[in-house]
Chains A and B, each alone.
Chain A
Amino acid sequence: MDSVLKVQGISKAYGTIQALSDVSFHVPTGSVFGILGPNGSGKTTLLGILLHILQSDSGNYSWFDEMPSDQARQQIGSLLETPNFYHYLSAYDNLKIAARIKRLTNPNFDFVLKTLGLYDRRNSAFQTFSLGMKQRLALASALLGKPKILVLDEPTNGLDPNGIAEIRDLIGNLHHQGITVIMASHLLDEVEKVCTHVAVLKKGNLLLSGKVDEVFRSTDQIEISSSDLNALSDVLKSLAGINQIQQIGDRLLLHCNEQKTPQAINEYCAQNGIYLSHLAWKKKSLERKFMELINENQTKQ
């Protein structure tokens, strides 16, 4: 089984607002799959459809190669949006209900409670928990029965920096154990740190999906200058690997492929009789790439 989840052409509208349009992708087995997008891009709607609590207008999905959806959900650990528990029941009793619905024969209650640091509070009512503890209980519930897939919507919501680091480590550990993690986040940093694959959503459109390093393939920028900008520009036009030349003041900004190092540019210019008076390599931050990705698509539309 190469992919644990196949999503095909899913669309959903709330009235006149198109929450998702024709979204398709595959989640490879064993990946940490990030669904990345700004607030309101349709991440939670998408996960809601995949977990059967929202109905799509069109399209379909399948978990584990066409397994019936409710059977599949029993084997998926999920945390969607907010922690949903019976307020008056203790952490332990809430987990018992989840375990029964999941038809677990020998639930690992103590293990998940200890993993999330809630063991000492297992008999306290959910309503006495802080926001961070509620989030931890939701994660504990998701880990019940050692699921093969985890679906997490903004898993670090409401956690303190310490908690965020712990959750990241936890996701890393689960990934190493071969568990597939599907994670929605608006935090690029989070996706960069923990995900192997990513799908970028914007206003319900899937911009692209694939391996993190491919999606965010560096299109580096090199800033150069010389006494004759026009001549410099003409020379560079004939050099392969440069996608765009932009003049900013008395400098040229080159958008290049990753193969084009400053050294190569310098060498090429020198060979063509132009000597650079300025050369700077500008590595783009992932965040800027993400913003570009999103804005680029906006201008296309």
Chain B
Amino acid sequence: MSELLSIEWLKIKSYKTFWVLIGFFALLLPIWNYGIANGFMKFGSGDLNFVSQAYSFGNVWQNLGFWTSIFVVFISILIIILTTNEFQFRTNRQNVIDGWKHLDFYHAKWLLVLVLSAFTVIYVFLIGLIFGLSYSSFNDFPGNISYLFFTWVLALNYYSFSLLLALLLKKSGIAISMFFLYSMILESLLSKGINWLSHSLAGNFLPLQCSDELLPFPLLDMVKRIANLSDSVTPTWYVLASFGWIIIYYFVGRKKLLKSDW
């Protein structure tokens, strides 16, 4: 397993795009959050600021988690590019010709997804630690740290979803477009539509939406809590749904790879 991963590392360690996209994520996420914590990032007018959020340990994991749920697109795109590159360069075939099983190729990519999701959550933890210590004391640690776990679930869901898209569509342009089309537009339409038609929250359980539900926009969440409008669905169900989808992605991708020509 570590052998697969270290070969995967050989493929990417001197790939500029890899470092650029990881760099965007690693730089922009803390800068963005610093802007909000510091107050120079304002959305609203006058004294009204929709993103005025606290970064003490009590809130930092939820705030960081929410913004991470947006910034993970950099790494999602990275996974799509790394995977579609293999098809474009036909190196997926070469890897097999040189002696990998089809599943070795597949599992190497899954390991990469796992590592990148681990990187995401560790990185968010470190940023959270710094923010938390700056705006509160260590006595408040860890605070609402379950949101850090949700961040990991979300990252894993997004990354493995991206991997599946790349495997199914094989072309980076189409896969990236579909990723944005689905995650930003189509799924919102579907999820709200299903909720509206079924008078339930069934639409919240769509592939990416179930993880998005774990990390709602903090202000809206707070308003909901104050107004006692909390959803009847507990996060546990969304976590389970996320893992359900991740397992489905794995088996769909596996079936596709094993039954088709390379």
Contact = CB atoms under 8 A, between A and B. Distances in A.
Interface residues of B, number: 27
Contact of B261 (A53, A70, A85, A93): A53
B10 A96 contact: yes
Given A55-B261, A86-B89, A97-B10, A103 B99 contact: yes
A53 B89 contact: no
A53 B96 contact: yes
Interface string A12-47: 000000000000000000000000000000000000
B11 interface: yes
B97 A71 contact: no
21 contacts: A51-B96, A53-B96, A53-B262, A54-B262, A55-B259, A70-B104, A73-B96, A74-B99, A78-B97, A78-B98, A80-B97, A84-B93, A85-B89, A87-B89, A88-B14, A89-B11, A89-B15, A93-B14, A100-B10, A101-B98, A102-B99
Contact of A84 (B7, B91, B101, B102): B91
A102 B96 contact: no
Interface in B48-97: 85, 89-91, 93-97
A101 B262 contact: no
Contacts of A80: 93, 97
A101 B95 contact: yes
A52 B262 CA distance: 9
B101 to A, nearest CB: 5
Contacts of A86: 11, 15, 85, 89, 91
A82 interface: yes
Contacts of B196: none
Contacts of B141: none
A215 B93 CA distance: 33
A52 B98 CA distance: 10
B90 A89 contact: no
Nearest to B16: A88
In this complex, the member of B94, B95, B102 whose beta carbon has the largest number of chain A beta carbons within 10 angstroms is B94
Contacts of A73: 96-99
B82 to A, nearest CB: 10
Interface in A173-230: none
B100 interface: yes
Interface residues of A, number: 28
Contacts of B96: 51-53, 73
Given A55-B261, A88-B16, A89-B14, A98 B98 contact: yes
Given A84-B90, A84-B93, A86-B91, A54 B98 contact: no
Given A82-B90, A87-B89, 7 more contacts: A51-B96, A53-B97, A84-B90, A85-B94, A89-B15, A101-B98, A101-B100
Interface string A163-177: 000000000000000
B7 A97 contact: yes
9 shortest interchain CB distances as A-B pairs = A74-B99, A84-B94, A84-B90, A53-B262, A101-B98, A73-B99, A53-B93, A54-B261, A51-B97
B255 to A, nearest CB: 14
Q: Which of B89, B95, B104 has the most CB of A within 10 A?
A: B89
Nearest to A54: B261
Contacts of B97: 51-53, 73, 78, 80, 84
B98 A74 contact: yes
A42 to B, nearest CB: 14
A70 B100 contact: yes
Interface in A53-83: 53-55, 70-71, 73-74, 78, 80, 82
